[in-house]
Amino acid sequence: MSTQESMEYINKGLKVPLLDAIDKYTIILIKHERAENDTNRQSIANETAFWKGVLDAYRKDGIEVRDEWIQTMKTLNEKLWDVEEEIRNAKKNKLSNEKVGELAVQLRDSNDERVAKRAKMAEALGTDFFDTGDEIPAQTPHKLPLHETIDRLTITLLKLERLQGNKNYESFQREYDFYSKVVDAFRKDDIDVKQEWIDDMKRANGRVWDREAAIRQGRESEFGLEEMGRRTLELRDIQMQERIPAKNRVAIEIGAPFFEVKTPANHES
């Protein structure tokens, strides 16, 4: 499919936007290789099958899914995993807050590299996957799972609330509208989407945002690496104790075929 043709693609089935699907697919491959155990094996297998299905659905629609994109994203996510692994094991390995701060900056810079690579992929695709058209079919099997949808919805809502005037504000609104349609599709699937799930997820993501802000904004020279490290360890606790449980509460309550696989520190296993 040419770039001009791909620009006209209508994502009427609410499929997970392609680059998000590639990202998630490579992450679950890494979890299979590095974090699989008897407790999460079936969940990882189910999730792997889901993401393969999304990518295959795009291929059937004539959308290009390049193997090089998958490999590039997997390599970048492996790099992120390696740094995150050091942070996960910071207490076990008795790392100083300053060292954790250095790792946090390294993680941010690696993530910036990942964002830049994704931007080039998006440019090559030239496709707006948030364009759903007016008619949504009754069956939407390749939409983002509900626990992930609520996560994305609340993150985007926080962007709308906190980043007014941002040059990408219109894009945030389109993303929020898209995931609102995904939530509506789950309701049409007879899933009772509870407001408390959304509230809990938004609260957790708001706390993540607050801890991440200084790191994301490159303010380590202002705050110092020791403070960056302290915030990073707080952030990890929020992720493990609030955000991931909020996601998995949704997955468990609706009987989803897979959940967010935790990757705890060695000292926590």
Give per-residue pLDDT as tens, 117-126.
999 999 999 9
Q: What is the pLDDT of residue 19?
A: 98
Mean pLDDT of the chain: 94
User: Both ends of the chain: CA-CA distance in Å?
Assistant: 47
Residues 6+ apart with CB under 8 A from 214: 220, 222, 223, 227, 228, 231
Q: What is the pLDDT of residue 6?
A: 42
What distances in angstroms separate CA 16 from CA 47, 145, 203, 228, one per listed residue? Answer: 13, 9, 24, 33
Specify whether the backbone of 131 is left (phi greater than 0), alpha (psi in -120 to 50) or beta: beta
Measured CA to CA, the distance from residue 109 to residue 206 in angstroms comes to 22
Helices in the chain by DSSP H: which ranges?
3-7, 18-34, 41-60, 67-88, 97-125, 146-162, 169-188, 195-216, 220-223, 225-238, 244-253
Q: What is the pLDDT of residue 219?
A: 84
Summarised one tens digit per residue, pLDDT across range 154-206 is 999 999 999 999 999 999 999 999 999 999 999 999 999 999 999 999 999 99
pTM as predicted? 0.93
For the segment 54-60, the average pLDDT, to the nearest whole number, is 98
**Domain limits of the chain?**
3-268
Measured CA to CA, the distance from residue 25 to residue 71 in angstroms comes to 11
Measured CA to CA, the distance from residue 130 to residue 175 in angstroms comes to 6
